[in-house]
């Protein structure tokens, strides 16, 4: 369950900034757990970065079990920022959140943009990088742009070392070549976000490699990274052992899922003179068939990497 308002029609939801033709181009999604001193500043930075682009956008903030004033301050900010929406993760453990994977899962399904940008709510990611990432997506024709903080990372020694260990595991087990998969700042097509199995704990650490397993093109680009100026680290604050061992097990889980994943694209054909007609490899009715494709599923038709069975 995401929010009690999850089944509202789009016309009942908070309005977003629309483009010239009324479309919504981009949703920015950020999970937040006890970020009361950062959420308003983050909203303002997102507005300042995206408003000059002339695109339709919204900012979807996911409150993941906060016990401070995060929710109240976000609600107050939304009164004067029509593009700000607050989603509340429900069924969270007392005093804790369900974690980033769960928060992303909720935010992606609440988002209405054709593209989805992701960042943390602690102000360490710079919303000012998003316009350049949108340009990179268009320039390269890729499906996904992943941020790389390596040249400017402002984290402490412990977090840098755990990231190195995690990168080693992912490279050996998954063949993952993404340099900074732990960077939350990324832009992707909506269909990718909805295909990610984020109902499982820890999968947010494997978003770029999972997108590649699904057959999408992922590119990387340098982004800024800033020190945290307010609040405390919540997600990923464990030590090397507590993070590395579950991360190693998760690598094997992701590899298993990749080996078992099958295409789920589908189409519906109306009855014709050839009732036994079988769609071709492209999903279209074969040449010479009277069958007419009238409905097509929205699941990505990409062939998962390594899936040849």
Lowest mean pLDDT across 111-115, 163-167, 184-188 = 163-167
Mean model confidence pLDDT for the chain? 79
**Residue 135 pLDDT > 80:** yes
Give the tens place of pLDDT for each residue, 2-14.
Answer: 334 443 333 344 4
- Who has greater pLDDT, 274 or 63? 63
Residue 286 has pLDDT above 90, yes or no: no
CA 190/CA 221 separation, integer angstroms: 20
Determine if the pTM surpasses 0.75: no
Residue 228 above 50 pLDDT?
yes
Q: What does the domain layout of the chain look like in residue ranges?
A: 26-260, 266-309
* Residue 179 pLDDT: 78
The 8 Å CB, 24+ separation contacts for 298-302 are 298/191, 299/195, 299/263, 299/264, 299/265, 299/266, 300/191, 300/192, 300/195, 300/214, 300/215, 300/216, 300/264, 300/265, 301/263, 301/265, 302/214, 302/215, 302/216, 302/263
> For position 34, what pLDDT does the model report?
94
Which CATH number does the domain 26-260 belong to among 3.90.550.10, 1.10.3210.10, 3.40.640.10, 3.90.10.10? 3.90.550.10
Mean pLDDT is lowest, of 45-59, 104-118, 128-142, 237-251, for 237-251
pLDDT of residue 273: 54
Question: What is the C-alpha separation between 253 and 36, in angstroms, rounded?
Answer: 35
- For residue 179, CA distances in Å to 91, 119, 242, 268 come to 34, 17, 22, 41
pLDDT exceeds 90 at position 177? no
pLDDT range class, residue 155, cuts 50, 70, 90: low
């Amino acid at each position: 369950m995401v929010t009690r308002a999850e089944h509202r029609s789009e016309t009942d939801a908070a309005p977003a900034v629309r483009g010239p033709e009324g479309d919504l181009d981009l949703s920015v999604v950020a999970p937040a757990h006890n970020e009361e001193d950062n959420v308003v500043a983050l909203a303002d930075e997102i507005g300042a970065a995206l408003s000059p682009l002339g695109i339709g956008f919204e900012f979807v903030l996911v409150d993941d079990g906060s016990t401070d004033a995060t929710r109240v301050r976000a609600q107050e900010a939304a009164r004067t920022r029509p593009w700000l929406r607050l989603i509340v993760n429900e069924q969270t453990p007392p005093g804790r959140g369900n974690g980033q994977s769960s928060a992303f899962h909720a935010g992606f399904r609440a988002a209405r943009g054709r593209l989805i940008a992701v960042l943390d709510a602690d102000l360490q990611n710079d919303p000012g990088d998003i316009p350049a990432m949108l340009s990179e997506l268009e320039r390269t024709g890729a499906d996904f742009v992943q941020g790389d903080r390596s040249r400017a990372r402002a984290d402490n020694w412990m977090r840098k070392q755990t990231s190195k260990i995690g990168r080693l595991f992912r490279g050996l087990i998954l063949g993952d070549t993404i340099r900074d998969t732990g960077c939350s700042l990324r832009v992707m097509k909506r269909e990718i976000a909805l295909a990610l199995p984020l109902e499982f704990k820890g999968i947010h650490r494997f978003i770029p490699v999972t997108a590649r397993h699904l057959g999408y093109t992922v590119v990387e680009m340098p982004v800024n990274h800033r020190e945290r100026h307010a609040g405390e680290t919540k997600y990923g604050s464990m030590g090397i052992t507590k993070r590395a061992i579950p991360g190693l097990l998760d690598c094997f889980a992701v590899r298993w899922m990749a080996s078992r994943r099958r295409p789920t694209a589908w189409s519906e054909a109306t009855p014709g003179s050839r009732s036994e007609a079988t769609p071709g490899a492209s999903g279209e009715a074969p040449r010479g068939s009277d069958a007419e494709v009238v409905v097509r599923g929205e699941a990505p038709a990409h062939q998962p990497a390594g899936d040849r069975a």
